[in-house]
A and B are shown apart, each in its own frame.
Chain A
Amino acid sequence: MDLGRDPRAGILVALLFAIALYPLLLRSDYALGAAITVGTMAIATVGFVLLLGYARQLAIGQAAFCTIGGYGSALLVIRAQWDPFVAMIAAMGVSMTVAYLVGRPILKLHGFVLAMASLALQLILGFVATEWSELTGGAIGLSGVPRFAILGWQVGGDRALFYVVWCAVALAVLAGLNVDRSRIGRELRAIASSERAASSIGIDLGQAKVQMFVLSAGMASIAGSLTVHYLRLMEPGVFGFQYSLNIITAVVIGGLGSIWGGVLGAGIIIGLREALRLTSQPSFEGVVMGALTIVILLLFPRGVAGGIADLYRIATRRVSDATEKRATAAPGDAFRDLAGDDSILTLDRVARRFGNLVAVDKVGFTVARGSITALIGPNGAGKTTLLNMISGDQPLNGGEIRFNGARIDRLSAHRVARRGIARTFQNLELFDTMTVAENVMCGRTRHAGTNVAAIVARLPGVGREERKMSEEAERWLAFVGLGDAGARWPNTLAFGHQRLVELARSLALEPDLLLLDEPASGLNDSETEQLADLILRIRARGITILLVEHDIRLVMGLADHVVVMNHGEKIAEGAPAMVRADKLVLSAYLGA
């Protein structure tokens, strides 16, 4: 971001000034208190944007972690005389640990079931807080929480606390933005767009969701601790269901798609509530809030932050050429030994049933390393089901699959991908919420070396890795012949070109084995010949190919070995010429 020219930088500086001057200009305790409340809530809502907006996990009991933070701080400071800052960090550690332990099982749930499970966690904690009165003071709670302090430095007074809180907001926003513009941000959007495709390129869905759950829990916990030091007390009602609801409303109004949406939403929610109190109409709070939520969402379906982003885009629309990408050199065709005669993939009596239907019936064959092996047969013969079982998308009902000598038939899809098997999909599974180049960058997950902590803190290595991923993506796009399409959106490309994007994304994994599911469908004859050449160039890089395809010219021209399936059974296999002469194959598939 060029600080001199980008208007967004100006807005950011103005915002920082406004926050810094706020307590100096508005001197009332009331205004200060409202701003602290906005700040503490904003810390929690930024975390919630990561969880709901990015990871799409409707875990709505965020106040549970505020509760842990609040009680943790209050107890450690009052009972154990800990330094409040240390207590806050310790409570955050507890919250994140609880989130990790709880998250693994409950994030396997989806949609409303997950919402109920996360809410149950909050209710349980509320119940414990009320009933375990010798520790928590029961319904009366804990009073006499001292003012906040950082390693002995007393934060004397609300004005100082205001700055501490807003520094914490800034850190939370920074952490959120770091995630947003990193590989994890892309991976989360990939998951939201197609879980199937995301796992096929090695993205661990469970891990990504749990990471955001833990991160958002940490932020909620900080919000809880700081709130308690502002209120100077903690009781079960502080972070009740209403607080969770406020967090949800805030991010929906503010905008789920942007970290800033969390801050804006918190400001709007608290601002409205306080404005209603000032006009001494607190009893109408629920009605007015509800009505305003609807109005804002009608005006800005993507929340206020989304609306502002749209306005900004319209205001700064430049008539520049979006596709002025320089041509990048394709990865050098490093030839590998193609003469290897050992097998890379072995299927042994592999079976799959759907109810009474036997989709794949004890099929066995081997794929030689460095070969192009084709799998053909009529529609419904079980070819795609077989590919799905190899890639870990579907479980086996019998038999085993070995890759490089090791069993892979019990591994989940992302583990299979990480072992070095990439695939494309018959009906295309591109991520529509990101550009073509970002789609391909997602394929580099398998080779990513940075972890979530480094990304949140944006350590120097993260930027370097980003640039390298971006270069890799450009190179693979050039390799498939789409060097100038990186900045476009996948759904504006023709079907055949979208296939090539998917191919580039799989190649970015640098797999040992590539599964292609009908790559020539939607291509005309000359495009099919170009595809044949591309497949040969891929093989020349030492990548073994298993090809499901109906274009018989492509299959017979390319394949070293052909396997034919019909009604779930293998009916023939051998060299192309042999298979073509097979009577069974002629009647079932090729036609006379």
Chain B
Amino acid sequence: METLLDIANVSAGYGRIEVLHGVSLNVRAGEIVALLGANGAGKTTLLSTAMGLLPARTGAISFAETPIQRLDTAAIVRLGLALVPERRELFGAMNVEENLLLGAYGVAGGGPASRRADLEAQYELFPRLKERRRQLAHSLSGGEQQMAAIARALMARPRLLLLDEPSLGLAPLIIEQIVQCIVDMRDRGGTILLVEQNARAALGIADRGYVIENGRIALSGTASELLADPAVQDAYLGGQGSTARAMEERIRARAAYYAATAKPVARR
């Protein structure tokens, strides 16, 4: 399979603070690759560096064999890389369709007819957006906003989509829908690099995954290897053999402990 994104030994950071220390990672065409890690590990920084939003201080980044670490973001988008940022960043005062059309900005050879076709393709993937096409972006619910952000990115016809925490702030039922959409995109030939805190959901649909810790790749492998890895289970899946119920029980036990040890003092 063709390697689309190849990140080799990249360091990057903000001011004097270096966040990434020699990270290497690759994504092949047709894959879903999950990137896992704690807050502050450098996941978003890695995506920003790939998109040219932040300079790589060392190392090389190439996309479909083209070196891109010196290119600006607009040029990288034209090559076929698109990012859906953590906070979605829709244009709130515009309606859904206008937001989507702006995603097609700068797409080569995009006449009105092909733009219309792209738009219909997104509506097919996200029927909910078609219902809401005339609604202002800021009045959408969280899940609809996430769908609109993904659809807008797809309007640029990316060969690789970088998704930063698509489940952020979404209700359980909606997360399932978004996860299904990501699988649908891959089944239609898309390639996705998925940053996600919900490690169980991410590894459930990914082909491969990387674990980043303190700015370094600590582990990598197929999704099933990572799911079975004791270290991954401890750090990201709530302990070995853990379930959602077990975590809830642990939290409840802590609450009971605090309640039992609380020393009554005078109320204000």
A residues sitting closer than 8 Å to B (CB atoms) are 319, 322, 334-340, 354, 372, 377-380, 426-428, 488-489, 492-497, 512, 518, 521-529, 532-533, 536-537, 539-540, 542, 550, 552-554, 556-558, 589-591
Which A residues are CB-close (under 8 A) to B234? 526
Bin the interface of chain B by size: 35 or more
Q: Are B251 and A532 within 8 A (Cβ)?
A: yes
Q: Contact check: which of A336, A354, A518, A540 meets B169 at CB < 8 Å?
A: A518
Which A residues are CB-close (under 8 A) to B176? 591
Q: Are B258 and A550 within 8 A (Cβ)?
A: no
Interchain pairs with CB closer than 8 A, number: 153
24 sample A-B contacts, Cβ–Cβ < 8 Å, listed by A number: A322-B17, A336-B264, A337-B266, A340-B267, A372-B255, A378-B171, A428-B87, A497-B40, A522-B168, A523-B197, A524-B198, A525-B247, A526-B235, A527-B197, A550-B170, A553-B244, A553-B245, A553-B247, A553-B248, A553-B251, A556-B248, A557-B251, A557-B255, A558-B255
- Of chain A, the residue at the smallest CB distance from B197 is A524
Which B residues are CB-close (under 8 A) to A553? 244-245, 247-248, 251
Which B residues are CB-close (under 8 A) to A539? 258
Q: Are A529 and B247 within 8 A (Cβ)?
A: yes
- Of chain A, the residue at the smallest CB distance from B14 is A492
Q: Are B171 and A379 within 8 A (Cβ)?
A: yes
Chain B min CB distance to A502 (Å): 13
Which A residues are CB-close (under 8 A) to B168? 521-522
Q: Which 6 A-B pairs have the closest CB atoms?
A: A557-B251, A496-B39, A380-B141, A379-B141, A379-B142, A494-B40
Q: Contact check: which of A379, A542, A590 meets B143 at CB < 8 Å?
A: A379
**Interface status of B9 (Cβ within 8 A of chain A):** no
Q: Are B244 and A552 within 8 A (Cβ)?
A: yes
Question: CA of A380 to CA of B171 in the docked complex: distance in angstroms?
Answer: 10
- Of chain A, the residue at the smallest CB distance from B233 is A525
**Interface status of B29 (Cβ within 8 A of chain A):** no
Chain A min CB distance to B251 (Å): 3
Which A residues are CB-close (under 8 A) to B144? 379-380
- Of chain A, the residue at the smallest CB distance from B252 is A557
Q: Are A557 and B248 within 8 A (Cβ)?
A: yes
- Beyond A379-B171, A591-B172, whether A335 also contacts B264 by CB under 8 A is yes
- Of chain B, the residue at the smallest CB distance from A496 is B39
- Beyond A378-B171, A553-B247, A557-B249, whether A524 also contacts B38 by CB under 8 A is yes
Q: Are A527 and B268 within 8 A (Cβ)?
A: no
Beyond A336-B262, A426-B169, A492-B15, 13 extra complex contacts between A and B, CB < 8 Å: A336-B265, A489-B15, A492-B14, A522-B39, A522-B86, A529-B238, A529-B251, A532-B255, A542-B268, A553-B248, A557-B247, A557-B252, A591-B173
**Interface status of B259 (Cβ within 8 A of chain A):** yes
Scoring A494, A532, A556 by chain B CB atoms within 10 A of each residue's CB, the highest score goes to: A494
Q: Contact check: which of A524, A526, A537 meets B258 at CB < 8 Å?
A: A537
- Of chain B, the residue at the smallest CB distance from A380 is B141
Chain B min CB distance to A21 (Å): 41
Q: Are A380 and B197 within 8 A (Cβ)?
A: no
Which A residues are CB-close (under 8 A) to B259? 338
Q: Are A550 and B16 within 8 A (Cβ)?
A: no
- Of chain B, the residue at the smallest CB distance from A591 is B173
Which A residues are CB-close (under 8 A) to B86? 495, 522
Question: CA of A474 to CA of B14 in the docked complex: distance in angstroms?
Answer: 23
Q: Are A522 and B38 within 8 A (Cβ)?
A: no
Chain B min CB distance to A5 (Å): 22
